[in-house]
């Protein structure tokens, strides 16, 4: 591989791995993995050459390589577990909470996670016919109670500098908006994208990044350098980690990841109970296990290294921080708890 070429982010995207044959140039597949490729793959598949180079880690390979388990629809699993479609205010906007909105700017990612909460739409054309963001900006302008805009997708940092600059300018031009965040896994899967030009745009618009890390093996030299550059430009960064069975569901893996993140100025923000998206059963731990894990961190390690453990309440109740077993009750296959409005929600969690 020519290192000069492969260091270019557009080269990384153009040379994405999207077939079994391409993947086999990087790693040897197991019989199960090969069989999954030969069958019907229900979720979008793609991996950047950079992330493929990290797949010697068994933890990471589970999260991006298709397996037959994805065809299993477990108890209570849904295509849209968070009920986002019920809260879609405009084609690009999900308005679930009072003062913050989720702006879905693209359905494209450079690498697809097998447990993605938006697997119903990522890697596919937008499910509606829109060519502009006009209606979405109009909605945000008219709703003066909105203070915080979280731009996500798909992965917004796969968009070009000029498109991002324009999008961020339009958000920043709305006087009642005080906080702008971008949700992205780009520094992890496509660190070449973090250029001085991009950092300048993010700094100009005072953007926070909400990044997605799941394991210490993702902290490659390229990813550390990308986060250090973002930090040098004054970009605030937090990480959301999905709790995944056999990937990071043990105390030591979490400690290694969270301290590793602090060392590159990324604050662990959320440890998310895996959403009950279709085909995710093999990734999901029980909520009881999640509580034991978060309690094994509280007090035992730097408070800065401890994220909030949250369940995103299925059906659109929002994220609910869980710190102890007294907050939940079991009813058969469901875990029952209250959200921030005191309303009861259920997470399907067969033992």
Ligand X SMILES: *Cc1c(COP(=O)(O)O)cnc(C)c1O
Residues that bind ligand X (CB under 6 A): 94, 96-97, 100, 102, 150, 319
CA distance 334 to 345: 10
Number of CB atoms found within 10 A of residue 17's CB: 21
- Minimum distance between the CB of residue 67 and ligand X, rounded to whole angstroms? 27
Q: How far is the CB of 94 from ligand X (least distance, A)?
A: 5
CB of 211 to ligand X, least distance (A): 12
Query: Toward ligand X, which CB reaches closer, 210 or 285?
Result: 210
Q: Which residue's CB is nearer to ligand X, number 102 or number 311?
A: 102
12 SS3 class: helix
**Nearer residue to ligand X within complex by CB, 37 or 83:** 83
Residue 13's closest CA among 166, 189, 217?
Answer: 189
Name the residue nearer to ligand X (CB basis): 46 or 274: 274
Contacts of 310 (CB under 8 A, 6+ apart): 270, 271, 272, 273, 319, 320, 321, 322
* Of 96 and 192, CB closest to ligand X: 96
From the CB of 270, what's the least distance to ligand X, in Å?
Answer: 7
Q: How far is the CB of 319 from ligand X (least distance, A)?
A: 5
> Going by C-beta distance under 8 Å and a sequence separation of 6 or more, which residues neighbour residue 149?
100, 101, 103, 140, 171, 177, 179, 180, 181
CA 84, CA 260: separation in Å to the nearest integer? Answer: 32
């Amino acid at each position: 591989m020519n290192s000069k070429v492969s260091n270019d982010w557009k080269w990384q995207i153009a040379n994405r791995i999207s077939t079994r044959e391409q993947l086999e140039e990087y790693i040897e597949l197991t019989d199960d993995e090969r069989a999954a490729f030969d069958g019907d793959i229900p979720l979008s598949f793609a991996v950047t050459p950079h992330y493929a180079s990290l797949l010697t880690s068994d933890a990471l390979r589970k999260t991006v390589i298709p397996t037959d388990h994805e065809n299993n629809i477990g108890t209570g699993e849904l295509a849209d577990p968070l009920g986002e479609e019920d809260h879609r205010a405009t084609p690009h906007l999900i308005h679930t909470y009072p003062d913050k909105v989720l702006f879905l700017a693209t359905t494209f990612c450079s690498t697809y996670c097998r447990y993605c909460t938006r697997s119903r739409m990522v890697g596919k054309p937008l499910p509606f016919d829109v060519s502009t963001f006009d209606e979405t900006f109009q909605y945000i302008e008219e709703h003066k109670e909105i203070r915080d805009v979280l731009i996500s997708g798909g992965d917004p940092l796969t968009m070009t500098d000029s498109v991002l600059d324009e999008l961020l300018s339009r958000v920043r031009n709305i006087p009642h908006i005080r906080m702008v965040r971008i949700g992205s896994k780009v520094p992890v899967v496509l660190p070449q994208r973090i250029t001085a030009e991009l950092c300048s745009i993010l700094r100009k618009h005072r953007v926070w990044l909400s990044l997605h890390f799941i394991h210490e093996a993702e902290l490659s030299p390229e990813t550390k350098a990308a986060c250090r550059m973002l930090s040098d430009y004054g970009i605030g960064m937090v990480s959301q980690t999905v709790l995944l069975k056999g990937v990071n569901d043990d105390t030591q893996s979490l400690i290694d990841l969270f301290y590793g993140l602090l060392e590159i100025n990324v604050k662990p923000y959320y440890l998310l109970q895996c959403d009950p998206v279709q085909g995710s059963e093999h990734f999901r731990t029980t909520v009881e296990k999640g509580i034991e894990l978060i309690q094994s961190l509280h007090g035992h390690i730097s408070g800065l290294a401890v994220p909030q453990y949250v369940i995103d309440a299925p059906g659109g109740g929002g994220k609910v921080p869980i710190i102890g077993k007294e907050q939940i009750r079991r009813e058969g296959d469901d875990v029952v708890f209250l959200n921030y409005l005191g309303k009861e929600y259920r997470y399907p969690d067969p033992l």
